[in-house]
Amino acid sequence: MSKSNAKAYWRENIKYLFILLAIWFLVSYGAGILFKDALNEIRLGGFKLGFWFAQQGSIYIFVILIFVYVRLMNKLDKKYGYDGE
């Protein structure tokens, strides 16, 4: 793999990482703390949505983010020839 391809690979990798970390931050800090009062106006399964996000919802989002990251990285690896095939 050429040096320019390696740089492009890491540039794209870091871009994905920052996007997913921003989503992680918004869900954990935003939904659980900053937007808690606004979200508490909505009920989900009998619980206030702000409470639900702080206790359970963020965990679901984190697991989804892991699967999204794996999928994105597999596609990126194939695109740049790092898929091992």
Q: Is 47 in a helix, a strand, or coil?
A: strand
Q: What is the pTM of this model?
A: 0.80
Residue 21 CB-half CA count within 13 A: 6
Residue-wise pLDDT for 59-75, tens only, equals 999 999 999 999 999 99
Q: What mean pLDDT is reported for the chain?
A: 90
Question: CA nearest 9: which of 59, 85, 82?
Answer: 82
Give residue 16's pLDDT band: very low, low, confident or very high (50, 70, 90). very high
Q: Given the structure tokens 């935003």, which residue do they identify? A: 30
Higher-pLDDT residue of 57 and 19 is 19
pLDDT value of residue 56: 86
